[in-house]
Structure 1
Amino acid sequence: MIIKFKNLGPIENGEIDLNDLKGINLIIGKNNTGKTYLSNLLYTYFKVRERQNIKMDEVVGIRFKDRLSDSDYETIKDYFEKKYEKEIKDTLSQVFHTSKDTFKDFEIEVNLSDEILEFKKLDDDTIIYFREMRKTIKLKKFEDKIEYLMEDYDENKGKRYITYNRKIEEEEAKQIIFGYFLHIKFFQKIYKFYSFPAERSGAVLFYKQLLEERSNILRELEMGNDESIGKISRYSEPVNDYVKFLNSISDRSKAMNELEIYKNLDERLKEILGGEVIIDTEDNIMFKINGDKIIDIGMVSSTVKTLAGFYLYLKYFAMEGDIVFIDEIELNLHPENQRKIMKLINYLSKQGIKFIISTHSPIITEEIDNMLLFEKVKDKINSEEMKEYEINSEYGLKTSDINVFHLHNKTVEKIKEKNGEFEIETFNTVLEETDNLYQTLLFYAEGK
């Protein structure tokens, strides 16, 4: 899916190909250029995929048939493009937790050409059980041909089914399964995504209170206390989701063993944090200093607060196919730890986790430059040099595994690869000016 958009906060226009998300997707730019806006637009897309309710009897403009023509495909394409556009526009203000007027000038154009080409080649089926008919209908699609196979329902067959409570005729049932088949192919939830917002270091201190307060306010609203409306915290959906995520960790830790992906990273994580993030017997997030001493999360460094949620994500949640949003990845991290966290991200992206990351840090972009260059010369560099710089054979990063989106001049520029590397020069001008000033001042300080 390609989305083109206009008037998204400070971004006047932009284009993103959501089929081209890489293992690492970096969003860079000066303050107030729209990094959070772009990140939240992508977050909105995944929210739409997550929240979409399938309306079985919704008509897409064509009746069920046994063969799809080119005009049918165009009708399907047009229908779902408009549906995505509407859903994204309606959900965007919810993600930002603001009024719809905030985005009254926002425009979006969705292009599903790639998806339709894949759908044309699709060879798949789906099954629905219609309880009132006591029938199971199986829809089979291969190339342009569609078959509907109707059978008496047999519970012993163990088929996946969806139950309907109303009387329904065979033709209508076929239309419903046809619409359902289209919806699950164009709108099914296929991702798990997680948010680590810039507010993460504060949220880890108050996550229980924040959720409890919201629950109490909603309860008051149910009881008719309209004055509680003004008490609802106006934090964005990524922050809200992070608070809910933190509150879910205790139950998850009881139901799941530590994941293999975490075990492989255990020592690297402990090295960055100087200890281990744990869940205690009272379901609190705590910190275990290297050794045995356990202290409250409120007493730890800002680095631990910032990375606590991400640490526990890796420990109990991380799976291949996840989408992970990290806002200001360098937040509260010493330059040495910024380098270490990017090495970690690079490794995780190779395990099938995709990252959408915003940053202001030249340390982050320079580390990525080094990874790209290492990939080109890894057969030349010797083991002693790798040991000196604390890198290994996993350190390299291919240009095909990263996107860099640069926000400037009120637009989104996807930085192009050149000679096997990206020229990420966003911070160079500022760094050069700082160094030139230092050299000038040093000249006068030395009395020359």
Structure 2
Amino acid sequence: METTKTQHIEKLASWKFSFKNIGCITNGEIDAKPLTILCGKNNTGKTWVMYGLYGFLNIGVSNLVLPQTQSMSKELIEKGNLEFNVIDWIKENFAAIKKDFNKNAAKMLSDVFNTNDKDIFSHSSFDWLIEENELIDHVYSKELTVSLVVGTGKKEIVLISKGPGSSIIQMTLLDTSFPRLENFINMALSQLLKIEHDSNPSFLIPAERNGLHLFFNELSSRRTALLHHASKEQFDLSSLLNDVLKSKYSAPIANYIDWLNEIRTNRKNKNSDFHHAAEELKKVISGKYTVDPEGQIYFSTYKRGASASKKIELHLSSSTVKSLFGLWFYLEHQAKLGDILMIDEPELNLHPKNQRVIARFIAKLVNAGLRVIVSTHSDYFVKEINSLMMLHNANSTQIENRNAIMKKQGISLDSMLNPNDVAAYVFDNSSVKEMVKSAEGINANTFDEVINSINEDNDEIYYSLIDIDSSEDEKDE
């Protein structure tokens, strides 16, 4: 069997999660693959779970208290150096480590959804399902180098390191007056246990992106807070700091707004990993984006025949052009191999033809080394994913026919998807269930039921009216 070359770049020891009492969801479990698809009716909890995953991957673990870190801190202060076997430490404390991670993940929900309502997540959980051997293998293979440097003289205070393929962690303390050593050790160990690249863990493109692309300057919570307080006759510093530091949006929305407000700087970044993908996206919009030094976004159409190319501000462009800007900029200036991309409704504002195109495009991103999680209402999107999986499964006797079909339909080899790299989940009746995969792909009953129903209703209306017309014609005769 011929297969496409897929880069598997893992950042977590396990991609399995279970959750309870989140939004309208009573319980559910997800085992995320390189491409994970969330489907279901409106108001069934898809965004809640996607935001929960985002929070687990992105929200810091500053409150984490791992076993024995207090004694590690004490010994490091006394001796200046500490060396210990992290694999033995995991074996001795696995249950406690897992409990601490999941306890912190439950607290994370209030932060990611930015709510002060203490009751809304009081009975919620968002657990990382991981086995001891998975965590040990993951930690053993990783490299860790974390140091704290302070002052203009760049004085190094503490250094924590571990080589790849080693079980030994070495800690060095150069200034015993450092006041938060235990917290620093917790941070370093949690980084070793969980996320490999904390600086760039995952990127979420929200369903609200069209409006955010147009009004991100006005929507900046910090800007709004400053203007609000500046207009007051009496200035309250504590109130200002509270408003500036705390966003009024959920974390994915607030972070996306902040990201948009940084595009004037990030536009200078050169990114070779996914430049080719960003270039391909231009074919969908039939033009190109530019960002000027002030952060103003423009769209330019391609020259067509005698018609000259036109450059317009983004707000004058089509909804499709607006919708895809964030994805293009991310791929052109930020995405790296192994990164995690989340897209809420990738089909937003796209004609069914382009919904198929974007499904193929996302398949290429997965095969190129991105891990992608999408939430979708599009039957076209899912059916195209099914086609790409069926093409991958062609056996040796079917290759010639497969290649002919792909050439006819304009499907490239790097769009084919290994079914083992795809997982799909349906949200319904307050629960989350994995959608069954067959030789034809994902069995998307959530869409099929509606399609069958509308066809039956259409037939009933049509034939009822035809029967009435026929009866009237017979009376006239």
TM-score normalised according to structure 1 size: 0.81
User: What displacement does 1:250 show?
Assistant: 1.5
Matched, 1:415 2:435: yes
Are the aligned partners of 1:374 and 1:395 in contact in 2 as well (CA < 8 Å)? no
Residues 37, 424 of structure 2: 8 Å contact kept: yes
2:255 maps to 241
CA contact (8 A) 1:259 1:314 kept: no
- Which of 28, 35, 55 is matched with 2:39 structurally? 28
1:344-369 alpha-carbon deviations (Å, 9 max, x no partner): 11101111111110011111111111
- Secondary structure of residue in 1 paired with 2:464: helix
> 2:125 aligns to what?
107
The counterpart of 1:296, out of the listed 296, 305, 313, is 313
Distance apart, 1:180 and its partner CA: 6.7
User: How many matched pairs?
Assistant: 424
1:278 aligns with 2:297: no
Amino acid at match of 1:185: L
Q: Counterpart amino acid of 2:326?
A: G
Answer yes or no: is the 8 Å Cα contact 1:125–1:140 preserved in 2. yes
Shift of 1:294: 1.0
TM-score normalised to structure 2 length: 0.76
Q: CA offset at residue 332 of structure 1?
A: 1.0
Aligned partner of 2:192 in structure 1 is: 185
Alignment of 1:36-435 (within 5 A): 36-48=47-59, 51-53=60-62, 59-60=68-69, 72-99=89-116, 100-113=118-131, 114-118=133-137, 121-122=140-141, 146=168, 164=175, 166=177, 182-190=189-197, 191-211=200-220, 212-217=223-228, 223-225=237-239, 234-253=248-267, 255-257=268-270, 259=272, 261-266=274-279, 268-291=280-303, 292-377=309-394, 379-381=399-401, 383-419=403-439, 421-435=441-455
Q: Which runs of 5+ in 2 are unaligned?
A: 1-13, 76-81, 304-308, 471-477
Please give the secondary structure, in 1, of the residue aligned with 2:36. strand
Question: Which moves more between the two structures, 421-430 or 235-244?
Answer: 421-430
- CA contact under 8 A between 1:56 and 1:177: conserved in structure 2? no
Amino acid at match of 1:183: S
Q: Which secondary structure does the structure 2 equivalent of 1:433 belong to?
A: helix
1: CA distance, partners of 2:135 / 2:459: 59
Distance 1:30 1:411, change over 3 A: same
> What is the SS of the residue equivalent to 1:101?
coil
Contact 1:399 1:420 in 2 (8 A): no
- Check if 1:6 corresponds to 2:23: no
Aligned match for 1:436, one of 452, 456, 465: 456
CA distance in 2, matches of 1:167, 1:35: 44
Amino acid at match of 2:360: K
Q: Aligned-residue CA RMSD in angstroms?
A: 3.9
SS at match of 2:365: helix
Structure 1 residues not aligned, in runs of 5+: 151-161
Structure-1 separation of matches of 2:437 and 2:384: 16
Give yes or no for contact 2:288–2:299 (8 Å, CA) kept in 1. yes
Structure 2 CA distance for aligned equivalents of residues 119 and 436 of structure 1 = 53
The one-letter code sitting in structure 1 at the alignment partner of 2:192 is K
Q: Distance in 2 between matches of 1:24 and 1:81?
A: 26
- Cα distance change on mapping 1:261 and 1:427 into 2, 3 Å: same
Contact kept? 1:60, 1:76, Cα under 8 Å? no
Work out the CA distance in 2 between the residues paired with 1:69 and 1:340.
47
1:223 shift after superposition: 2.4
Bigger shift: residues 208-217 or 67-76: 67-76
